[in-house]
Amino acid sequence: MKRSYSKYSAKDDLLWLFLRPWIFIPRVLYILLTFIFLFLRILFQGNSKNKNVQKNLSKYLFDVITDLGPCFIKLGQALSTRPDLVRQDWLTELTKLQDNLPAFDHKIALKIIEEELGSPANELFEEFPDIPIASASLGQVYKAKINNSYLAVKVQRPNLNFLIRRDVVILRFLGTFLSPFLPLNIGVGIGEIIDEFGKALFDEIDYQKEAENALRFANLFKENPNIFIPKLEKQFSSKRVITTSWIDGVKLRDRALLEENNLIPASFVKTCVISGLQQLFEFGYFHADPHPGNMFALKGGNADCGNLAYVDFGMMDTITNSDRLTLIKAIVHIINEEFFLLAEDFQKLGFLTKEQDLQKLVEPLKEVLGGSFDAEVGNFNLKNVTDKFSKLMYDYPFRVPSRFALIIRAVVSQEGLALRLDPEFRILKIAYPYIAKKLLTDNSKEILDILLEVVFDKKGQLQIEKVESLLNILFRDSENINSDLIPVANAGLKLFVSKKGSEVRKNFLLSLIKNEKLEFTDAKKLLALIRDTFSPLNIAKSAVQNIISTV
């Protein structure tokens, strides 16, 4: 039976290309020579102070990536979100990779629409323009009109199946061959990571799958007033054409553009990051391509949380419940500076082998992540952690499990986007309070088990300092006190008196018994901590803030 070429298969696709040396050999040579010339030009001109030289070099970089095709454009898009890695004049040019690429022939787009939807575009829509409004790596978008409403019609580039299959196979071949010489040791799994990239790309060019993704994503955020997902128009969608409602918003490209439109950049950073954390830690289903071309700032919202629209749901992924909970534990262990337990988390996630002596990693992990929320929080971002981890990954057998490739890509892209809008942004300032609030308000059994690990030690004794650390992290700025105090107080009270809270009550009572006597010292400290945190004055402030926010 003939194999379907709508899915990626590393083994079959490698054989397919090796049996076609007239395709494989010239393409490999072309890619290698292209990167050699690019490397030499950057080597000799990269440090030049001449603005014209840098402008020409950035244009050359854009042209090289564009010329190499969709796979390399996708990699370039990831770079375009990192102002801390790429110099600003290059970044401006690379940003065009998001939705400002050369368009393909309009006649071909019209032919694809007719083949996919069964009728010409001018019969399907009241108005259909002659040129696209945006052109990205895998398709181009037209602003069409029907029934006095505007729609976004995305048409896929021709011949993508062949181009992606060929280049993913070559990237895997070159990546595996060159992995020992790469500046960052990511372990033996680079081929597996490229396989994940290949699978994601083939999913992304199936617009029927994207339509399903959009509906699922919209359902997850249906109760969130700050997140907007465009409506799918099923009758105008197929495997190579997808149509949604039009989004009138401002792309999250730079701070000045938002301010020109009287929008507050920091408010969209918070909405963006919180929604990303929800995707990873609550839904287990996330947008793996959150670059500025796929996110729009909308009017409305408030100074704390702006209204945000997501588009383009081709590259999505899931995270298992086990991995999701282990990541939450890992963040709690970073908060509490429990580096042996953190090493165990890495081992469970597959970043370390089962044979690794975890005790040897305690000091190195402390050096990399110690004090991440306090003294060094001003310097804490993913680039700095990556720089520190690069040495650690050479000295110890860390490797990146392939299933984390898209998660890392999404988090890195999102932090890069946030840094563009707010250069002072630090992801932990939002991530830590989010995790703290989740532990204190989410009454699911899994989260409750993690909370019990924080509140009580292995001997069943209260860990007052850790409870205090959680509350300090959550309420260390006045905005969080105002918005989160009452929800946390309500959730804590409900948990303590509920059936689910029986384990909490039992552990609390057992913690009072020491040396066969009742000892209330820790209980008094806990009550004092709760009294100070949830004082009548703070509760009143929270109530007023909640009333103001709803007006």
Residue 3 — pLDDT band, cuts 50, 70, 90?
very low
pLDDT more than 70, % of the chain: 75
Residue 375 — pLDDT band, cuts 50, 70, 90?
very low
Residue 506 — pLDDT band, cuts 50, 70, 90?
low
Report how far residue 508's alpha carbon sits from residue 497's, in angstroms, rounded to the nearest whole number.
13
Rounded to two decimals, the pTM is 0.80
- Residue closest to 443 by CA, chosen among 504, 529, 485, 506: 504
Residue 516 — pLDDT band, cuts 50, 70, 90?
low
Enumerate the active-site residues.
289
Report how far residue 474's alpha carbon sits from residue 488's, in angstroms, rounded to the nearest whole number.
10
Please name the residue that has the structure tokens 């520190």: 388
How does pLDDT run across 9-44, given as a tens digit for each residue? 888 888 899 899 999 999 999 999 999 998 898 888
Token pair recorded at residue 78: 């990831």
User: What pLDDT does residue 441 have?
Assistant: 77
Q: What is the mean pLDDT of residues 360-383?
A: 65
Higher pLDDT: 269 or 526? It is: 269
Evaluate if residue 331 carries a pLDDT over 80: yes
Q: What is the mean pLDDT of residues 132-156?
A: 92
- Residue closest to 444 by CA, chosen among 496, 504, 495, 486: 495
Report how far residue 516's alpha carbon sits from residue 523's, in angstroms, rounded to the nearest whole number.
16
Please name the residue that has the structure tokens 């490698």: 14
Please name the residue that has the structure tokens 């792309």: 251
